[in-house]
Amino acid sequence: MTFNILISDPLSEEGIKPLRDAENVSITVETKLTPEELLDCIDQYDALLVRSQTQVTKEVLEKGTRLKVVGRAGVGVDNIDLDAATEHGVIVVNAPDGNTNSAAEHTIAMLMSLARNIPQAHYAIKQHRWDRKSYVGVELKGKTFGIIGLGRIGAEVAYRAKGQRLNVIAFDPYLTEEKAEKMGIQYATLDEVLEKADFITVHTPLLKQTKHLINKEAFAKMKTGVQIINCARGGIIDEEALYDAIVQKKVAGAALDVFEEEPIKNFKLIELPEVIATPHLGASTVEAQENVAIDVSHDVINILNGGVAKNPVNLPSLPAEVMKRIEPYFNLSEKLGTFIAHTTKEVIEEVSIFYSGDLTKLDVSPLTRNTVKGLLKRYLGDHVNDVNATYFANKKGITINEQKTTSSKGFTNLLTVEVKTKSGSSRVSGTLLNGLGTRIVKVDAYSVDVVPTGHLVLVRHKDQPGAIGRVGTLLAQFDVNIATMQVGRSDIGGDAIMMLTVDRQIEEKVLKQLKEVHDIHDLMTIDL
């Protein structure tokens, strides 16, 4: 059988060599198709290879009745409708490792250029100006280099920075002191990185939690004369705050490869002489372009021939009878994972998912992956999915346990997620109630009945008269409406919790005042 493959975006010829070498493949390269032309021809192909240009929409996937796989020669899959792909049984693969080296090297190149004023000096000499005094730089040796985000690229940057004899300190939600020690770097909190580093580079995904992570408050914590690098994602650094910090001489310089708006339209920041910039070139090397295409080409060939993909992005189709029985629990499992991620402040070392009741008779491994996905997405972003969640967990050193028990605590089915850290553990349990949908029914030792959706507030407090009233009164003062409230306690006058559902996100200034309320031990917001 011959498989037809359409390549609709420009790819490295060396990168698609595995496809050309395959005996049972016919390749069509059409890189200037309009959306309408793509829709007209996609039903002729078994596989589609793209970069970022082609939009693989729901309509494309519906028309592509022969499609078995879509390959994205790159890291992101923003141009592919993953839900539609899964619905239509199309496996999506990408190349998460192909550009790691290029991005890490670009970061180091920007670091060196920043420290020695190379772009500015180059421009001056091009203008026939011999000006040595204006471009005196600093040595890297002995300086403190702070890395925020120690994933694939961040870890490669750390390795190279050590070669420059920098003192490397790093923060990552999943970095432990033991892992840092093995890497030969120093474990630090986010604030410690901000306060101690002479150079700071960011390597996190752009999430709700990392949007403007480096903001006015962060700059205030930094050393005067700090220098900033961003080769990760535009938006992690608040560009207005960076502009002010440079003008006020708090920040001595910045090297930027990514921007909040691309292509750049507002050049105010870039026009500062202390700023050097490149137009999102982190992965723009011949080798990276070849590597991502090679990785995807191999996966496409494997899938077409009935093999297993190395880098699947979405969940392959499950047998219909299995999906029908476990599908109602997918939403619950992800919500429980997200909930426990919000309530855990330390590095997670182990995750256990307990299934009881009728769930013990089913293949629950997809639910386990979905739970882990919900947990990790809080830190790693939407590129974590059902298929790669356990892979990322393993990479972060998190042990995943799946257990079945006959004890269902009176529920037809019960799903419990427990996470362990160095200092202890925490649990959350949920179930499906006939006709009522998903419920969180237990948080640690406290019984509750909470719909896992919307804006939640978890308050840990001392069981004393007036505690609940003080919280409600304060929220009312700030026009925050409480939709539901659940309370639980260990014993009279002992520890207790409140679970509130509110109509909108609570502002930071309100949270600060809530935390100061008498008898409150801890408070956290949870968005589900």
Domains of the chain in sequence order: 3-97+287-304 (3.40.50.720), 100-277 (3.40.50.720), 318-443 (3.30.1330.90), 454-528 (3.30.70.260)
Beta bridge partners of 502: 455, 482
Contact (Cβ atoms closer than 8 angstroms) between residue 171 and residue 193:
yes
Amino acid 317: pLDDT: 52
Burial of 244 (0-12, 13-18, 19+ CB in 10 A): middle
Peptide bond before 319: cis, by omega within 30 degrees of 0? Answer: no
Of the candidates 72, 106, 203, 280, the residue annotated as catalytic is: 280
Residue 508 CB partners (closer than 8 Å, separation 6+) = none
262 annotated active-site: yes
Contact (Cβ atoms closer than 8 angstroms) between residue 302 and residue 3:
no
Distances (CA, A) of 268 to 135, 212, 251: 22, 18, 16
Return the H-helix or E-strand segment holding 217: helix 216-221
346 annotated active-site: no
Q: Is 69 helix (H, G, I), strand (E, B) or coil?
A: strand
Examine the pLDDT at 406 and tell me if it is beyond 80: no
Of the candidates 51, 233, 298, 369, the residue annotated as catalytic is: 233
**257-282 pLDDT, tens per residue?**
999 999 999 999 999 999 999 999 99
Radius of gyration of the chain (CA): 26
Contact (Cβ atoms closer than 8 angstroms) between residue 88 and residue 67:
yes
**65-78 pLDDT, tens per residue?**
999 999 999 877 87
CA 197/CA 166 separation, integer angstroms: 10
Examine the pLDDT at 200 and tell me if it is beyond 90: yes
Amino acid 388: pLDDT: 76
Beta bridge partners of 501: 456, 484
Percentage, residues of the chain above pLDDT 90:
68
**457-484 pLDDT, tens per residue?**
999 999 888 888 999 999 999 999 999 9
128 annotated active-site: no
The pTM is what? 0.78
CA geometry: angle 131, 136, 140, nearest 5 deg:
150
Residue closest to 145 by CA, chosen among 126, 162, 124: 162
Contact (Cβ atoms closer than 8 angstroms) between residue 157 and residue 107:
yes
Of the candidates 30, 181, 261, 262, the residue annotated as catalytic is: 262
